[in-house]
A and B are shown apart, each in its own frame.
Chain A
């Protein structure tokens, strides 16, 4: 089925370890996003890429880096994981960066549940 694929689905890291969360979409969307979701905090934007070749910081970028590898793939890297980064991470994509043109809204992946101990 067409959509957004995230890997891995679950991960446990030790403090200080690094890892990369992978995201790929097969809908030919221009824009991709990384959100984290925490209890009582809702969805908070970490980074986004309005189009291939561009990335911008969101609300909570500290401790993360991103790479827009090509139009399909957008990865999120934790260089030195901290317990505060324990969260559920969602990748999403949309047709264009200006949401008004993207009447289909965002398509989300199923999430990566990350625990940092």
Chain B
């Protein structure tokens, strides 16, 4: 079992829809959870950062972490065509010298 599992999609929604993206993980030591957005032929860019469990909101984006279920989510409200991209979850344990582990990414397409 890979440490981080993410459904690759693709996911297609109409403009204005609420989008839910999810990842599961197996390593209970993970405490830092991130979501990256990657546009076609570009490098990933950090979208949301969450430490431990709980919710974090930033504009139309909400990140949720449920450590008891080893499950994280990213919600996008009022989705826009500009949200069309690949979304990658990433996570890490609290340990000096460790690197982020990424999910495979979910490709999202928002149609106008």
Contact = CB atoms under 8 A, between A and B. Distances in A.
Q: For chain A, which range describes its interface: under 10, 10 to 19, 20 to 34, or 35 or more residues?
A: 20 to 34
B44 A90 contact: yes
A34 B41 CA distance: 17
A108 B43 contact: yes
A34 to B, nearest CB: 10
A35 B51 CA distance: 23
Contacts of A99: 32, 92, 98-100
Interface string A36-50: 000011111100101
Interface in B1-51: 6, 8, 31-32, 34, 36, 41-46, 49, 51
A100 B32 contact: yes
A106 B102 CA distance: 12
Q: Which of B49, B94, B97, B98 has the most CB of A within 10 A?
A: B97
A58 B97 CA distance: 11
A26 interface: no
B53 to A, nearest CB: 14
B93 to A, nearest CB: 9
Interface of B: 6, 8, 31-32, 34, 36, 41-46, 49, 51, 88, 90, 92, 94-105
17 contacts: A4-B43, A42-B103, A43-B44, A43-B105, A45-B100, A48-B99, A50-B96, A54-B97, A97-B96, A98-B97, A99-B32, A99-B98, A100-B51, A103-B49, A105-B49, A111-B42, A111-B43
Interface of A: 4, 33, 35, 40-45, 48, 50, 54, 56, 58, 90, 92, 97-100, 103-111
